[in-house]
Amino acid sequence: MNRWFRFHRLRYLILATVLAVFVITALTTSTLNLSAQSGPWEGRYWNSRDLSGNPVLVRQDGSINFDWGGGSPANEVFTDNFSAQWMQTATLPAGTYRFSATADDGIRVWVDNVVIIDAWYDSQVRTITADVFLSAGNHTITVRYYEAGGVAVAKMNYVALSTPQPPPPSGNWFNEYFTNTSLSGAPALTGTTTDVNFNWGFGTPTAGFPADFFSVRWVRNLNLDAGRYRFTVIADDGVRLWVNNVLVIDQWRVQPATTYNVEVDVAGGSIPIKMEYFENTERAEARLSWTRVSTPPPPPATAVWRAEYFSNMTLSGFPVIVRDEGAVNYNWGYGTPAPQIPVDHFSARWTMNLSLAPGRYRISATSDDGVRVWVNNQLLIDAWWDRPAQTFSAEFTTNGGAVPVRIEYYENTALAEMRFSYTQLTGGTGGQFPGTATVTSHRLNVRTGPGVNFPSFTRLSNGNIVALTGFRNGDATWVQIVTPTGTAGWVSALYVQTSIPISSLTPITGTTPVPPPPTGASGTVNTGALNVRTGPAANYPVITTLDNGTVVTLLARDATSTWVKVILRDGRQGWVNASFMILNVPIGSCRWPTSSSSPAIGKQRRSGPTAGAPFSLAAGAPAIQ
State the pLDDT at residue 15: 59
Is 416's pLDDT higher than 60?
yes
Task: Tell me what the mean pLDDT of segment 565-582 comes to.
Answer: 80
State the pLDDT at residue 515: 40
Strand order in the sheet with 269-279: 189-193, 173-178, 214-224, 269-279, 238-243, 246-251
Task: Tell me what the mean pLDDT of segment 176-197 comes to.
Answer: 88
State the pLDDT at residue 433: 61
State the pLDDT at residue 29: 33
State the pLDDT at residue 12: 59
State the pLDDT at residue 486: 64
Q: Predicted confidence band at 608 (pLDDT cuts at 50, 70, 90)?
A: very low
Q: What is the CATH number of the domain that holds 556?
A: 2.30.30.40
Q: Predicted confidence band at 98 (pLDDT cuts at 50, 70, 90)?
A: confident
Domain count, the chain: 6
Question: What whole-number distance in Å separates Cα of residue 459 and Cα of residue 483?
Answer: 9
State the pLDDT at residue 166: 52
Which of 127, 160, 193 is at the close of a domain?
A: 160
Q: How far is CA 288 from CA 132, 468, 553, in A?
A: 21, 45, 43
220 located within any domain:
yes
State the pLDDT at residue 232: 94
87 located within any domain:
yes
Task: Tell me what the mean pLDDT of segment 201-218 comes to.
Answer: 91
> Can you say how many angstroms the Cα of residue 306 is from the centroid of all Cα atoms in its chain?
25
17 located within any domain:
yes
Q: Predicted confidence band at 489 (pLDDT cuts at 50, 70, 90)?
A: confident
Question: What whole-number distance in Å separates Cα of residue 198 and Cα of residue 202?
Answer: 12
Q: Predicted confidence band at 598 (pLDDT cuts at 50, 70, 90)?
A: very low
- Most confidently modeled of 20-29, 314-323, 412-421, 608-617? 412-421
Per-chain mean pLDDT for the chain: 79
Q: Predicted confidence band at 468 (pLDDT cuts at 50, 70, 90)?
A: confident
Helix/strand/coil for 382: strand
Which of 128, 160, 192 is at the close of a domain?
A: 160
Q: Is there a single domain that holds both residue 239 and residue 315?
A: no
State the pLDDT at residue 614: 35
Q: Is there a single domain that holds both residue 531 and residue 478?
A: no
State the pLDDT at residue 371: 94
Return the exposure string of 454-474: e unless at least 16 CB atoms fall within 10 Å of the residue's CB, then b.
Answer: bbbebbbeeebebbbbbbbbe
Question: What whole-number distance in Å separates Cα of residue 341 and Cα of residue 319?
Answer: 10
Q: Is there a single domain that holds both residue 29 and residue 102?
A: no
Taking residue 202's Cβ as centre, other Cβ atoms within 10 Å add up to 10
State the pLDDT at residue 350: 93
203 located within any domain:
yes
Annotate 570-622 with three-state secondary structure.
Answer: CCCEEEEEHHHEEECCCHHHCCCCCCCCCCCCCCCCCCCCCCCCCCCCCCCCC
Q: Is there a single domain that holds both residue 238 and residue 203?
A: yes
Lowest mean pLDDT segment, chosen from 81-95, 264-278, 345-359, 473-487:
473-487
Q: How far is CA 364 from CA 360, 430, 562, 596, in A?
A: 14, 11, 33, 22
Task: Tell me what the mean pLDDT of segment 42-57 comes to.
Answer: 90
Question: What whole-number distance in Å separates Cα of residue 84 and Cα of residue 330?
Answer: 36
State the pLDDT at residue 508: 61
Q: How many helices (H) and strands (E) does the chain have?
A: 1, 45
Domain of 23, in residue numbers: 2-33
Q: Predicted confidence band at 282 (pLDDT cuts at 50, 70, 90)?
A: very high
| Higher pLDDT among residues 395 and 12, named by residue | 395
Q: Is there a single domain that holds both residue 113 and residue 183?
A: no
Which of 424, 452, 473 is at the close of a domain?
A: 424
Q: Predicted confidence band at 514 (pLDDT cuts at 50, 70, 90)?
A: very low
What are the two backbone dihedrals, phi and then psi, of residue 616, each rounded to the nearest 5 degrees? Answer: -70, 145
Q: Predicted confidence band at 34 (pLDDT cuts at 50, 70, 90)?
A: very low
| Higher pLDDT among residues 336 and 95, named by residue | 336
State the pLDDT at residue 606: 32
Q: Is there a single domain that holds both residue 494 and residue 578?
A: no
State the pLDDT at residue 17: 57
Lowest mean pLDDT segment, chosen from 162-171, 503-512, 609-618:
609-618
370 located within any domain:
yes
603 located within any domain:
no
604 located within any domain:
no
Q: Is there a single domain that holds both residue 526 and residue 498?
A: no
Task: Tell me what the mean pLDDT of segment 566-577 comes to.
Answer: 76
State the pLDDT at residue 6: 56
301 located within any domain:
no
Q: Is there a single domain that holds both residue 113 and residue 210?
A: no
Q: Is there a single domain that holds both residue 342 and residue 418?
A: yes
State the pLDDT at residue 509: 43
Q: Is there a single domain that holds both residue 313 and residue 277?
A: no
Q: Is there a single domain that holds both residue 224 and residue 131?
A: no
> Can you say how many angstroms the Cα of residue 622 is from the centroid of all Cα atoms in its chain?
34
State the pLDDT at residue 517: 45
Angle (CA) 599-604-607 rounded to 5° is 145
Q: Is there a single domain that holds both residue 204 and residue 261?
A: yes
Q: What is the CATH number of the domain that holds 111?
A: 2.60.120.380
Is 13's pLDDT higher than 80?
no
Question: What whole-number distance in Å separates Cα of residue 38 and Cα of residue 36?
Answer: 6
State the pLDDT at residue 570: 59
Is 575's pLDDT higher than 70?
yes
Sequential DSSP letters for 1-49:
-HHHHHHHHHHHHHHHHHHHHHHHHHHHHHGGGSB---S-EEEEEESST
Sign of CA dihedral 194, 198, 203, 208: positive
Q: What percent of the chain has pLDDT over 90?
A: 24
State the pLDDT at residue 107: 93
Q: How far is CA 107 from CA 148, 256, 355, 417, in A?
A: 12, 32, 33, 34
Sign of CA dihedral 453, 455, 461, 464: negative
Q: What is the pLDDT of residues 58-67, one digit of tens each?
A: 998 888 999 9
- Residue 136: Cβ-neighbour burial (10 angstroms; 0-12, 13-18, 19+): exposed
